[in-house]
Amino acid sequence: MLSEQDSKPEIEGVEEAAVVDSPRPAEAYRGPAAAAEGERPRRRSGRRRVCIMCADKMKAVDYKDVAFLRRYLSERARIETRRKSNCCSKHQRALARAIKRARHLALLPYTADHIRSAGVGPAR
C-alpha cells in the first residue's frame, strides 16, 4: 500500500503547503491574506439593474425605432449581450429579433464599415 507521502508529487525547492489542487494559487483571488485563510472571492453584491423595457412597460420592441435599437449595437455593429444591455431574457430576444428585421430592411448596418462611413461612433 502507498502511504500519503508516496501519493503526493515531490517537487524540489517547493514546500508541501504550496502544492494545491486548484490551477490558480489562492493569492490570485484576494491577495495574500486570503491565501492564508483559503477563501474564494465574494460575489459582487449590489443593486440589481432593472430591464429598461420592463421599467417602461414596453409591450413590443419596434424595429422601425432605429435610434432606440442603435443603443444596443456595439461599435462593430454587433448585438450587445444581456449582461451589457441590461435587458431581461424576454426583451433581449425581442430586441435581437427587431435588430435583425431592421438590418434586413437596411435600417441598421450588418457591419462596422457602414457605421464608420455614416459618422456614428468614434472617428478614426
pLDDT digits (tens, 9 = 90+) for 19-52: 556 566 655 555 555 555 667 776 766 777 889 9
Spatial separation of the C-alpha atoms in residues 121 and 79, rounded to whole Å: 15
pLDDT tens, residue by residue, 89-110? 999 999 999 999 999 999 999 9
Taking the complete model, does pTM exceed 0.85, yes or no? no
pLDDT of residue 104: 96
Comparison of pLDDT for 43 and 112, the residue scoring more: 112
Q: What is the DSSP string of 73-86?
A: B-TTSPBPPHHHHT
124 or 98: which leads in pLDDT: 98
Q: Is 57 left (phi over 0), alpha (psi -120 to 50) or beta?
A: left
Which has the higher per-residue pLDDT, 122 or 48?
Answer: 48
Taking only the tens place, the pLDDT of each residue in 10-19 is 556 555 555 5
